[in-house]
Amino acid sequence: MVNVAVAGGTGGIGRTIAEVLISHPQHRAIILTRQVRGRIAIQDRVVDHRLQKKHGQDEQLGVPPVQVDYSNAEFLKSVLEEHQIHTVICAFPMEGDALRTAQINLLKAAVASSKTRRFIPTSFSIPYPRE
């Protein structure tokens, strides 16, 4: 089984990635998120977490969330090792300095982790030319 962390997994692209991962039993996914509250329903069972959507609505997801601090690379490394994360997929729904800081710290953590072997960076928030 391959353990996969989806950073930014509560956003549109990240949520889709997480949903696809849970449909494949050879993968075990977790969501790295800045905010976790309460409980969430996962298919027909309940898990002890609830993700709070930006507009205050509950989000039903198929993977457990793990609250992280993207400003602390050492803490991120410990999360990756604790959950034995093989692959990190970044799907941050942000841009600019916030994206750079979070993604660079997560990359540093993945490189330092003895468990992590793959890192897929965010390329979804790149300001593509309009032409």
Using CB atoms within 10 Å of the CB of residue 108, give its burial: 0 to 12 exposed, 13 to 18 middle, 19+ buried: middle
Domains contained in the chain, CATH given:
2-33+67-120 (3.40.50.720)
> Residue 75: its pLDDT value, please?
96
Nearest to 29 by CA among 52, 58, 62, 67: 62
Of residues 71 and 95, more confidence is placed in 71
Mean pLDDT calculated for residue range 98-119: 93
Q: Spell out the SS3 assignment of 57-122.
A: CEECCCCCEEECCCCCHHHHHHHHHHCCCCEEEECCCCCCHHHHHHHHHHHHHHHHCCCCCEEECC
- Look at residue 34 and tell me whether its pLDDT is greater than 90: no
How would residue 100 be classed by pLDDT, with cut points 50, 70 and 90? confident
